[in-house]
Amino acid sequence: MFFDHHFFGMHWVWWIIMAILVLLVIFNVIPYRPRTDLTEDALDILKKRFARGEIEREEFEERKKILKQAK
């Protein structure tokens, strides 16, 4: 009934297609994954933290001076 040559012969093809679709969804298609920007340097991060209000002006200036000395 289901074990004739047509069903059994195509069964492995559908598993391969499903595996490829799953891999595409995981690695390429999902645009909503948080991705880190690898080109962002420490000074950019510091400026963003200051803009969000996480650090005060004095701390911002002090850390900016330290970062410029390190370069």
pLDDT, tens digit, for every residue of 20-58?
Answer: 888 887 877 666 666 666 677 889 999 999 999 999 999
Q: Is the pTM here over 0.85, yes or no?
A: no
Measured CA to CA, the distance from residue 49 to residue 26 in angstroms comes to: 31
pLDDT number for residue 59: 95
pLDDT, tens digit, for every residue of 6-29?
Answer: 555 567 777 888 888 888 878 776
All structural domains of the chain with their residue ranges: 5-70
Angle, vertex CA 61, rays to CA 35 and CA 55, nearest 5? 55
In this structure, what token pair is assigned to residue 53? 């209000």
